Amino acid sequence: MGNYRFIISGGGTGGHIYPAISIADELKRRYPNAEFLFVGAKDRMEMEKVPQAGYKIEGLWITGIQRKLTLKNLMFPIKLISSLIKASKIVTRFKPHAVVGTGGFASGPLLKVASSRGIPCVIQEQNSFAGITNKLLKDKVSKICVAYDGMEQFFPKDKIVKTGNPVRADLISLSEDKKESLDFFGLNQEKATLLVLGGSLGSKRINSLIAENLDFFKSLKIQLIWQCGKGYIETYKHLNSETVKVHAFLNDMAKAYASADFIISRSGAGAVSELCLVGKPTIFIPSPVVAEDHQTKNALALVEEDAAIMIREEDLDEKFKIDFQEILDSTARKEELSKNISALALPNATKDICDEIEKLLN
């Protein structure tokens, strides 16, 4: 039977949305006649990104709880009740055979309703430290697909399957040619290349770090591919040069990764999973303003395996040049970091998650 109906819920950030779309794409490949419905939070980025990927989406009136007492928090119980009622109507009407949650505000009400009706539900937890929504749902769902070891501290052991995080299909083989990729960016094959990634919105602190250190990189004969984010391109585009290529956004990540000898990146779950596949020496600079400090915990999980360097934002002035120079100067250190980060890659994540969903259908 291929006429399955799937509801997939995840949103708020790209880290929840892109895995959800990857899972839908793989299920669609396996079941071309299946129907799909995404459920997100109104006014969040999934309401734009999911239709762009070719799927229908409905929005719930839901937001997270703020850390301080605000009017939004007083509205939370009303929004939650409203979302549970709407989620109930969606499930009644669509009659899904399975429901998948990849995190974000909307997945809570939806999976709560679906699981209470005995519909098989799967959670995909991207981070090394589980989110609040997923922790609340842990006893209700059938399976929990994770990307890190040691997740028994958050979830029932018998429900956990280590699959890894879905990544973009074009990165799995990473067959891009380095010379062609450097030509694409207009860079010199004789020089080492640093790729700087501040996340899709860009990072104010990483951008200021790079701008302050352009002379340092120049002295080391390092050239840069610098993704500064669309909010910062006007501030930094004047720094474009023969050796510094400033981009608001990188549309061809496979070429960017192929060009790089070293990488500086935030440590969101999706970025970490991609960089394990890429296998280049990486310095993670976690965002300090992410819920539950997920990014620091994700980076530390790699640091513990000697698979990456992590520098906290408050330590950058003191440590950045020393740590970067240390990687640059030692071929053995570069090789060790590359080998150890590559060993953590889980390239079959999307397939393995869909295998778990398939088992529940049967």
Instruction: Assess whether 185 and 286 both reside in one domain.
Output: yes
pLDDT at residue 67, as a whole number: 53
Residues 322 and 179 in one domain: yes
Do 52 and 144 have their domain in common?
yes
302 against 69, higher pLDDT: 302
Residue 92: CATH number of its domain: 3.40.50.2000
Tens digit of pLDDT for each residue in 242-276?
Answer: 999 999 989 889 999 999 999 999 999 989 999 99
Q: Is the pLDDT of residue 16 over 90?
A: no
User: Is residue 178 domain-shared with residue 312, that is, in the same domain?
Assistant: yes
Range from 1-10, 70-79, 125-134, 173-182 carrying the lowest mean pLDDT: 70-79
pLDDT of 287 above 90: yes
Q: Which pLDDT score is estimated for 37?
A: 97
Verify that 70 and 34 share a domain, yes or no. yes
For 322, residues 6+ apart whose C-beta sits below 8 A from its C-beta are: none
| pLDDT of amino acid 330 | 96
| 41 and 124 together in one domain | yes
Residues 78 and 34 in one domain: yes
Q: Is 29 annotated as a binding residue?
A: no
Q: Is residue 68 pLDDT above 70, yes or no?
A: no
Instruction: Report H helices in the chain.
Output: 14-30, 46-52, 71-94, 107-116, 132-137, 169-173, 178-185, 204-212, 214-219, 233-236, 253-259, 269-278, 294-303, 316-329, 331-342, 349-361
pLDDT band at 82 (very low <50, low <70, confident <90, very high): confident
Instruction: Kindly report the pTM of this predicted structure.
Output: 0.86
Mean pLDDT of 357-362: 93
Same domain, 129 and 177: no
Determine if residue 200 is labeled as part of a ligand binding site: yes
Number of domains the chain is built from: 2
What are the tens digits of pLDDT across the range 316-355? 999 999 999 999 999 999 999 999 999 999 999 999 999 9
- Please tell me whether 331 is known to bind a ligand: no
As a residue count, the chain comes to 362
Please check whether residues 209 and 332 belong to one and the same domain: yes
pLDDT at 118 (0 to 100): 96
Give the pLDDT of residue 188.
Answer: 96
Query: What is the average pLDDT across 144-166?
Result: 95
Is 282 marked as binding a ligand?
A: no
Mean pLDDT comparison of 43-52, 79-88, 122-131, highest-scoring range: 122-131
Same domain, 39 and 112: yes
Please state, in angstroms and as integers, the Cα–Cα distance from residue 233 to each residue in 106, 247, 345, following that order. 32, 7, 32
Task: For residue 296, give its domain range.
Answer: 170-342
Taking residue 4's Cβ as centre, other Cβ atoms within 10 Å add up to 18
Higher pLDDT, 244 or 12: 244
168 labelled as ligand-binding?
yes
Q: Are residues 66 and 194 in the same domain?
A: no
pLDDT of residue 257: 95
How far apart are the C-alpha atoms of 130 and 134, rounded to whole Å?
7
Residues 145 and 175 both lie in one domain: no
Residue predicted with more confidence, 95 or 1: 95
Q: Is 127 annotated as a binding residue?
A: yes
Q: In the predicted model, what is the mean pLDDT of residues 182-188?
A: 96
The residue-averaged pLDDT of 279-300 equals 92
Give the Cα separation of 103 and 83 in Å (integer).
15
